[in-house]
Amino acid sequence: MSWFNRRSRGAEATPTKLDREATRDDLAALETFVASRRGVEFYLEPETTATDTTVVAIAHDGEWIRRRTGTPRAAGAIARKHAVPLYEAARTGYPERMRTWNRAHPERHAR
């Protein structure tokens, strides 16, 4: 009797991403956010094993949204189209105004 099998149970299964890819709705949400707020900046977050490439759009007052873009190139295209600065979040970090806004709106984290 073997306690441990050398082959894992899912050895034949194809690895899958844990999350979905970017959709038109994601890109439209970013464009709507930019059009309806002032002083918006984009912060690019790289793809991980759990999620696709994302952008955090942060307005002048710190309000923000995070949406998938699929690729850094797609994020750059939206940023250029709307003349929005695009930063790499891993290099620059997020602005203090985002943290201030988060503290003032704890209901956003209750989801």
Q: Which backbone phi and psi does 10 adopt, to 5 degrees?
A: -100, 25
- Using DSSP, state whether 51 is helix, strand or coil: coil
- Using DSSP, state whether 82 is helix, strand or coil: coil
Q: Work out the average pLDDT over 53-79.
A: 95
The DSSP secondary-structure symbol of 2 reads -
Q: Determine contact, residues 86/58, Cβ cutoff 8 Å.
A: no
Q: Work out the average pLDDT over 1-21.
A: 53
Question: pLDDT tier at 48 (50, 70, 90 boundaries)?
Answer: confident
What is the model's pLDDT at position 97?
Answer: 96
Q: The tokens 């709307």 sit on which residue?
A: 82
What is the model's pLDDT at position 110?
Answer: 52
Instruction: Give percent of the chain with pLDDT exceeding 70.
Output: 79
Question: pLDDT tier at 6 (50, 70, 90 boundaries)?
Answer: low
What is the model's pLDDT at position 25?
Answer: 94
Residue ranges per structural domain of the chain: 24-108
